[in-house]
Every structure is written in C-alpha cells, then in structure tokens.
Amino acid sequence: MEASNQTAKTEKLWTPSFVALNFILLLNFSNMSVFFQFNSYLKGLGMGQSNIGLVLGLFSLAALVVRPFISPFLQPSNARRWIFWGVLGTVACLLSYNLAHSFAALTVLRLAHGSFYVLMAAAAMSALTGCIPPSHSGQAFGVVGVVVLLPFALVPPLLPTLERLLGGYLAVLTVTTIPVAGILLLLPLIRPVHAERGGAYAFNRRELAANLKHPMILSLMGLSLVMYSAFSILFYYIGDFGKGLSLAAPGLFFTLSSAAEIAIRLGLGSYLDRVSKKGAMVLSLGVLAGAYLALPHVHHPGFFFGLAVVFGLAWGVLVPSVSALIFNISEPRFRALNTNLGFEMMQGGYFIGPFLGGVLLEATDYGVLFTACAGVCLLGLVLVVMASGWKKPTAE
C-alpha cells in the first residue's frame, strides 16, 4: 500500500511545485515580452538596422554561452538557490536600461541581462523536470507552453498604452521589475519529487559526451535551433512589418497567434501523449513554411491577422511536441540537462534570428526575410525525418 501511495504521488502532475514553477515561468517571460517594442526604441536612439539586430540578439547570445556551463550543475535539488540569484540580477538589469543609451553600454547590459535571465530560466526548468511524471510529459509541456505564451499574448498590444500611462518605454521596463521580483515569494513552494527521493544525478565527461553525441539528441537539438530562429524573426520584426503596411495595432498579431497556440494546447492537452509526436512535428513545420511564404503577400488586415492564427496553431503543436520528445527519449539522469539544452537551442535561435534578420533587412526586404524563414522550417522538417531513423538513447 505504501509503495502504491508513493507511485501515485510521483505520477501526479498538478502539485504545488508544478504550479509554482509555472507561475515563475510566467513572471520570467513577462521580462521578455516587454521587448516586443525594443526594435522601435533602438531605432529612436539612431542605431542602424544591423546594429539593432546585434543588440537584440546579444541577450540570447549570452544565454547561449552561459547555459552549457551551468546546466550540468543544475538539478531539481539545488534550483531554488540559483533562481534567487537570477531574480536579483534580472531586476538590476531591467533598472539599468535607464542608464544605458549608447551601443557599447547596451552591448554590456544585454549580455548581463541575458546571463541572469538564463540562470533563472535554466534553474526553473531543472526544478520542473523533477515535477513531471514521464506519463504526463506531453500534457506538462503543453501547460508550460501555454504559461510562457500568456505574456506574449497580453503585453505587446498593451505596450503603447503602458508607455503613455507610465511616461515612456524605459518606465515600462522599470515597472516590469515588480512581477519579476514577485518570483521570490514563490520559492518556498518548490519541492520537486525527484529531489526529495534521491537528489542530483552524477555523470562523468564520457557519459555526458555520449549523451550529447547521440544522433537522435543532435537532430532534435538542431530542430529546436532552426524553429526558434524562425520564430524570433517573427517576434522582433512583425511589428515594424505591420506598421509598414499601415495596419492598425500590429501588436495584435502576437495576441491572436498566442491565443491560437493556447487554444490548441488546451484543446489537445493529454492527447499529445497519445499521438505520434514526429508526425505532429512534420505537419506543423509544413504549415509554418507555407505561412511564412504567404506573409510577404499580405495586403489586407484580415489576411495578416488570419496568418497570425495559422502561425499560432502550428507553433501550438510543434513546440510542446519537440520538448516532450526530448524529455521522453532522454535517460532519467539526463532529463534536466537535455531539457535545458533544448532551451539552449531556443536562445541560439533568438540570437541567430534577429542578427541575421537585421543583416538581411539591411540588404534586401521582408519578402526575402520571410522566404528564408520558410526554408528554415523545411530544414527543420528534414531534421525530424533524420531523428526518426535513429534508436532511442539507452543507458550502457
């Protein structure tokens, strides 16, 4: 009976820790969503488009560099300590945007901000892996996907109003420190089941290298990199693209897109655990490629916002499917590490996307930019097919 109760406990998804960590992710991503207007803010400082692309991407470049060094040391049992320091550093960085106005100052600040952000996010994801039963991985990552989308659905269309009410964009960044600091109140609730049962896993360099070199892991990490590269271009540049078409409230694009993502993730829920994740990924990548190809031909608000819904539905299937598959194929001791490395690829995409996007825009136009994104999605489709040809990693 005792063993049965323990099994029931570890198979339960909706625990206080799981709920608290999702609130932490919600508040952490509010720290990112306010940068929807950052492209326009940097233009107001007189920066060229290529420098703007670099400044936008430096945040994620820092995360890309820092995450591999910290991920092997992060486990469910020690996550709270690192979330605490990540919160303090992030608050300090958000306040520092009031002082940084030159390219050099913003370069340093964006690198610092990205480093503290990834410390907080990686520690939270490590704690989360200690709260997710494998039998509920698709549902869990579907919930996480909904939570991290909410700020992107709500904040972008509100930014112009918030700027008017608060006295400018920098004031909005300052006020954002309040929800980020609120994360500290949630830390006492984090008690991952796996941390209680056994603490951190230990593995040597040879085992770590074997995990990272497995073709199936490599294919899924490559897929994460390319899909987030395409997504980040949409996030940072769709606002100005919409303004160029004289569309009212282009920020609503992400509201509709995020609402569609949330709807399909809530609608599918645990269904993601019963269907072929690879089949779902192939379908969604094909839809995304078509949507990117259609975007340069937008001439009507209905078409523009209709495509937002199409993007949202495709992302709503793709992102949790990739995360759940990475989680499921990983050995238990590598789940925290591989889940964080999946998010490492997200940060890589958030650097590559805006940086190369800025270079392309300076040399060409949005038509070329979005066509390139379609090609990236098709490359992701090839990586899914490649992953299908390899066996799941197993412990030696």
DSSP-assigned letters across all residues of 139-163: HHHHHHHHHHHHHHHHHHHHHHHHH
* Measured distance CA(115)–CA(66) in Å, rounded: 6
Helices 335-363 and 215-244, packing angle to 10 deg: 40
Contacts within 8 Å (CB) and 24+ apart, 158-164: 158/251, 159/34, 159/36, 159/37, 159/251, 160/37, 160/251, 163/37
pLDDT of residue 197: 42
* Measured distance CA(62)–CA(110) in Å, rounded: 8
pLDDT of residue 61: 86
pLDDT of residue 72: 73
Q: How long, in residues, is the chain?
A: 396
pLDDT of residue 341: 79
pLDDT of residue 354: 86
* Measured distance CA(180)–CA(339) in Å, rounded: 23
Contact 333, 211 (CB under 8 A): no
| Tokens encoding 133 | 């039963």
Residues in the chain with pLDDT < 70?
1-10, 134-135, 137-138, 142, 192-204, 207, 246-250, 268-275, 388-396
Contact 260, 308 (CB under 8 A): yes
86: left (phi over 0), alpha (psi -120 to 50) or beta: alpha
Element (H, E) at 10: helix 2-11
